[in-house]
Amino acid sequence: MDAAIAFLISPPAVLLISLLFEGIDRKIHARMQKRIGPPVTQPFYDLIKLFSKERIVPITASARVFETMPMIAAAVSLLGASILLSNILSGSSVIGDLILVMYLLAMSSVALMIGGSASGNPYGVVGFSRKMSMMIAYEIPMFIAIISVAFGSSPSLAINNIIRFQISLGLPLAASRPSMALAAATFLLCMPAAASVVPFDIPEAKTEIIYGFLIEYGGPYLALAKIAKAVSNFALTLLASAVFLYVPLLLGENVLLNLGISLSLCLIESLLIMFVTITVPRTVLARLKIGQAFKFYWMLPLILSISSIILSSVGL
């Protein structure tokens, strides 16, 4: 597919798929709790309702920042996910690389944080400081894992080069070498924190700080924040499935030529990754405290990622 066309159709596709993913996640979560749960299309209804609501800006907020930040957050995460998807669709690397995607996804969290802390609500401030510590905890191992992947494959930072490298190996990257397996493990361990779900939903803990930086957002702003979160969750799962575990290659050359099949396989795989790294932890675990979460990330994923980069530099 032509890169320009791919990039044009990507944003609506990303929006559709990521909201559908959120709906599936909520349904499975509910069934695991013996609840009936909302219909899979519930996130769409939520968004329609939120967008039709009144805009409220608190008196204490610095209005410009408060209003623009959700838009920036939604836009950058949509951009990041679209770059990723259009790269996979077009099979060329003209649009952007791994670092850009990771940067845009992190940027979306940062934008929401700033917007929330501009609301003038003390809970927003606490949420900001918690999110700051959490980002320091999980972003560093995550980036090291990505860099380790870049070293380990060809070396290249372009998503398509990594996919082609996997195809030429005939193996998913995570299964190719111990260093890559460690990098994949690090990335997957960082997923629940990046998606900020229980046990790592500390920055927006509902019963503690009432959704933290999201506390004053409502109506269209909240809808934008929700889009930002859903899209960046989807982008992370898709990234993990494309870069670490590109499964379609196991079905042989014929399948790879068919874009539809390889893409849908990739999506199913990212759904599975979402189930393992987002739905299951948030169902079976209790929320940690900020100190405990920080300790976890610097004890396990950080050490894993560093050992991965050391191993890949010695060629393992």
Partner 1 sequence: MVVKRSTERTEKEVEYTRLRIPFGPVHPALKEPVLLRISVRGEEIIDVDMTLGHVHRGIESLAEGRNLIQTLYLIERICGICSHSHTTCFIQALEEIGSIIPSERALYLRTLIFEMERIHSHLLLLGVMAYEIGFDTLFMFTWHVREKILDLFEKITGNRIHHAMNTIGGVRWDLTSQMAGEVKAYMREIEKSTKYIHSAFTDGTVEKRICNLGVLDYNDAIKLCVVGPTARGSGVNIDVRKDHPYAAYDELKGDFSVITRKDGDVYARTEVRIFEVFESINIIKAILDRLPNGSIRPEENVFRIMKRIPEGEAVSLVEAPRGELLYFVKTDGKGGLIRLKVRTPTFSNLLSLKRMLVGCEIADIPVIVASIDPCLSCTNRVTIINQEKGKSKVIDMDSLRRMVRRKWMRR
Residues that bind partner 1 (CB under 8 A): 32-35, 59-60, 122-123, 125-126, 129, 198-199, 201-202, 205-210, 282-292
Rank residues 122 and 252 by Cβ distance to partner 1 and give the closer one: 122
Rank residues 53 and 206 by Cβ distance to partner 1 and give the closer one: 206
Rank residues 283 and 307 by Cβ distance to partner 1 and give the closer one: 283
- Least Cβ distance, residue 29 to partner 1 (angstroms): 8
- Least Cβ distance, residue 205 to partner 1 (angstroms): 6
- Least Cβ distance, residue 198 to partner 1 (angstroms): 5
Rank residues 42 and 156 by Cβ distance to partner 1 and give the closer one: 42
Rank residues 3 and 300 by Cβ distance to partner 1 and give the closer one: 300
- Least Cβ distance, residue 291 to partner 1 (angstroms): 8
- Least Cβ distance, residue 175 to partner 1 (angstroms): 30
Rank residues 11 and 120 by Cβ distance to partner 1 and give the closer one: 120
- Least Cβ distance, residue 275 to partner 1 (angstroms): 15
The DSSP result for the chain, as a single string, is --HHHHHHHHHHHHHHHHHHHHHHHHHHHHHHTT-----TTHHHHHHHHHHTSPP---TTS-HHHHHHHHHHHHHHHHHHHHHHHHHHHH---SS--HHHHHHHHHHHHHHHHHHHHTT--HHHHHHHHHHHHHHHHHHHHHHHHHHHHHHHSTT---HHHHHHHHHHHTS-HHHH-HHHHHHHHHHHHHHHHHTT-TTS-GGG-HHHHTTGGGTT--HHHHHHHHHHHHHHHHHHHHHHHHHT--GGGGG-HHHHH-HHHHHHHHHHHHHHHHIIIIIHHHHH-PPPPHHHHHHHHHHTHHHHHHHHHHHHHTT-
